[in-house]
Amino acid sequence: MNIILGITGGIAAYKTPELVRRLRERGADVQIVMTASAREFVTETALQAVSGQPIRDNLWDKAAEASMSHIELARWADAVLIAPATAEVMARLASGAAGDLLTTLVLATQSPVAIAPAMNHVMWNNPAVQANRALLEERGIAILGPDSGSQACGETGAGRMLEPDELAATVTGPGFADGQPAGVLTGKTVLITAGPTREPIDPVRYMTNRSSGKMGYALATAALRAGARVMLVSGPVDLPPPRGVEVHDVLSADDMYRKTHELVAEADVFIAAAAVADYRPVSVADKKIKKSGERMTIEMVRTEDILASVAALPEAPFTVGFAAETDRLNEYAIDKLERKQLDMIVANCVRDGKAFDADENAVEVFWPGGGQAFPLAAKTSLATDLVDLISSRYEAARGTGTEPRLSVVSIKD
Ligand code: CTP
């Protein structure tokens, strides 16, 4: 796959040598095109070393144009990715300007174009930038991100460039270079639960757990990129709603159960990534509980198992559960797969706080008759791989109908 990587002058340009490496690892040939201001943030020497190609930066470079003109370069590309994309380049693209090599290439290519905006969050939210974003999107340019979090300027908000690995996965992923939003889940609806639940004790207190929701949100984004319609039933998390995903916010396990069952009839695939409380207080005090003796006891009752209840539906979607275990990972995960009659289970080790709130995860996946291990990787790229696996298992289970619902599962301890 031939990719033109356009680099413009934002601080996130310092991440582009890493981005080039991630693209090349995924088999892409990368031709870098830098703007003049990108040189303030990253050197040509570093980029040339990682891409293995001389950098292009000038529409009037006679030697470069003689070996491959900008029109030939535009034809050569299977995809164009601009990362980071500044407010300035977005404005120029929106206006159809062609004053430099990069903007000229975008006008001259017939291949898909994606941009990864990166800028201060106040700039990103500026109506002019948002109007340009909407216009570019309307014209078919894919807008990847931005992400939310702490920014180079010391502030926090939406405007961070997506991580190199996620950008590389998207641009080299299924369907992107064919210009189809189509992916392995096109035409399918995926319902995902994510995050923790909050079980109220009284008006000021609740019980919860350490789930960040990152895995469920990453799966939602990956399923969307794979072409699915995605509905996300989310417990309280500190993550921005992924654009294009239908997010339904809930608090308690009961709320999550109700919302999931309200939506499940529309789903072809259900992924239970939420860390749902297994118990909730039997009753919720309507006034703040005042402290009294040295001890207190809260009586708890089991919550409904959302995952098992979906798997037991007569017309159950392809159902994927998660198992977070501190020990005997495979044994417990396979037990859950069988007990809850799941199509697939994703098991992760949470010993020593591993997996919770982390950006990376390693998992073992099991299904009736098989399994696959996924080594430690960014949750975003793991999510893409899991969505690929889910879609191929979904096809195998639903497509031919010949797969047994349960058989011997290999255990890989
Ligand atoms: N789950 C659910 N509803 C619940 C509890 C769990 O949908 N009330 C789902 C989770 O989203 C996850 C899987 O079930 O996909 C976890 O299974 P569970 O048996 O609840 O595991 P744990 O509570 O982690 O472990 P254990 O049963 O061993 O206590």
The secondary structure of 337-381 as a DSSP string is HHHTT-SEEEEEE-GGGTTTT-SEEEEEEEETTEEEEEEEEEHHH
Cα–Cα nearest to 111, from 183, 3, 20, 243: 3
User: Which tens digits make up the pLDDT trace of 88-133?
Assistant: 999 999 999 999 999 999 999 988 899 999 999 999 999 999 999 8
Distances (CA, A) of 129 to 10, 122, 164, 325: 15, 10, 23, 45
**Structure confidence at residue 15 as a pLDDT band (50, 70, 90):** very high
pLDDT higher at 242 or 171:
171
CB 215 within 8 A of CB 361: yes
From the CA of 256, how far away is ligand 1's center (Å)?
13
Residue 238 CB–ligand 1 contact under 6 Å: no
Crossing angle between the packed helical segments 127-138 and 87-95, to the nearest 10 degrees: 50
pLDDT higher at 125 or 257:
257
The span from the CA of 230 to the CA of 223, in Å, is: 7
- pLDDT for 404 equals 38
**Structure confidence at residue 55 as a pLDDT band (50, 70, 90):** very high
- Percentage of the chain lying above the pLDDT 90 cut: 66
- pLDDT for 179 equals 54
**Structure confidence at residue 65 as a pLDDT band (50, 70, 90):** confident
The span from the CA of 183 to the CA of 225, in Å, is: 7
**Structure confidence at residue 59 as a pLDDT band (50, 70, 90):** confident
**Structure confidence at residue 399 as a pLDDT band (50, 70, 90):** low
Residue 321 CB–ligand 1 contact under 6 Å: yes
The span from the CA of 115 to the CA of 124, in Å, is: 14
Residue 262 CB–ligand 1 contact under 6 Å: no
**Structure confidence at residue 193 as a pLDDT band (50, 70, 90):** very high
Q: Whose CA is nearest to atom 17 of ligand 1?
A: 323
**Structure confidence at residue 395 as a pLDDT band (50, 70, 90):** confident
Rounded-to-10 torsion of CA 206, 209, 213, 219:
-130
Residue 274 CB–ligand 1 contact under 6 Å: yes
Active site residue 153: yes
- pLDDT for 406 equals 38
- HSE-CB at 388 with a 13 A cutoff on CA atoms is 13
Q: Is the pLDDT of residue 272 over 90?
A: yes
Cβ-based neighbours of 66, under 8 Å, separated by 6 or more: none
- HSE-CB at 183 with a 13 A cutoff on CA atoms is 28
Give the DSSP H/E element, type plus range, for residue 20.
helix 16-25
Q: Which of 108, 152, 153, 263 is catalytic?
A: 153
Residue from 307, 344, 349 to probe ligand 1 pocket by mutation (most atoms less than 8 Å from CB):
307
- pLDDT for 153 equals 76
- pLDDT for 356 equals 67
From the CA of 175, how far away is ligand 1's center (Å)?
34
Residue 355 CB–ligand 1 contact under 6 Å: no
Cα–Cα nearest to 322, from 280, 365, 358: 365
Residue 307 CB–ligand 1 contact under 6 Å: yes
Highest mean pLDDT pick, 184-188, 319-323, 350-354: 319-323
- pLDDT for 56 equals 94
User: Which tens digits make up the pLDDT trace of 276-319?
Assistant: 999 999 999 999 999 999 999 999 999 999 999 999 999 999 99
The span from the CA of 330 to the CA of 366, in Å, is: 9
Cα–Cα nearest to 176, from 384, 6, 399, 359: 384
Which atom of ligand 1 sits closest to the CA of residue 309? 7
Please give the average per-residue pLDDT across 54-69, as a whole number: 86
Of 48-57, 77-86, 221-230, 297-306, where does mean pLDDT reach its minimum?
221-230
3-state DSSP assignment of residue 389? helix
Residue 234 CB–ligand 1 contact under 6 Å: no
- pLDDT for 183 equals 64
What structural domains does the chain harbor? 2-178 (3.40.50.1950), 189-410 (3.40.50.10300)
Which atom of ligand 1 sits closest to the CA of residue 320? 15
Residue 367 CB–ligand 1 contact under 6 Å: no
How high does pLDDT run on average in the chain? 89
From the CA of 239, how far away is ligand 1's center (Å)?
22
Please give the average per-residue pLDDT across 320-338, as a whole number: 92
Q: Is the pLDDT of residue 413 over 60?
A: no
**Structure confidence at residue 324 as a pLDDT band (50, 70, 90):** confident
Q: Is the pLDDT of residue 378 over 90?
A: no
- pLDDT for 411 equals 37
Structure pTM?
0.62
Q: What is the 3-state secondary structure (H, E, C) of 61-86?
A: CHHHHHHCCHHHHHHHCCEEEEEEEC
CB atoms < 10 A from the CB of 187, how many?
9
**Structure confidence at residue 403 as a pLDDT band (50, 70, 90):** very low
Phi/psi for 118 (5° steps) reads: -150, 120
Which atom of ligand 1 sits closest to the CA of residue 322? 15
Instruction: Evaluate the omega torsion of the peptide bond into residue 127 and state whether it is cis, within 30 degrees of 0.
Output: no
Residue 331 CB–ligand 1 contact under 6 Å: no
Q: Whose CA is nearest to atom 21 of ligand 1?
A: 323
From the CA of 216, how far away is ligand 1's center (Å)?
14
Return the ∠ at Cα 380 (arms to 379 and 384), rounded to 5°: 110
DSSP assignment string, 273-337: -SB--SEEESS--SSPPPP-SS-----EEEPP-HHHHHHTSTTPPEEEEEEEESSSHHHHHHHHH
Please give the average per-residue pLDDT across 194-220, as a whole number: 95
Which residues are paired to 190 by β-bridges?
Answer: 230, 269
The span from the CA of 223 to the CA of 190, in Å, is: 7
Please give the average per-residue pLDDT across 46-75, as a whole number: 89
The span from the CA of 51 to the CA of 54, in Å, is: 8
Residue from 257, 260, 264, 322 to probe ligand 1 pocket by mutation (most atoms less than 8 Å from CB):
322
CB 13 within 8 A of CB 23: no
Which residues are paired to 189 by β-bridges?
Answer: 229
Residue from 193, 276, 338, 346 to probe ligand 1 pocket by mutation (most atoms less than 8 Å from CB):
276
Give the single-character DSSP code of 240: P
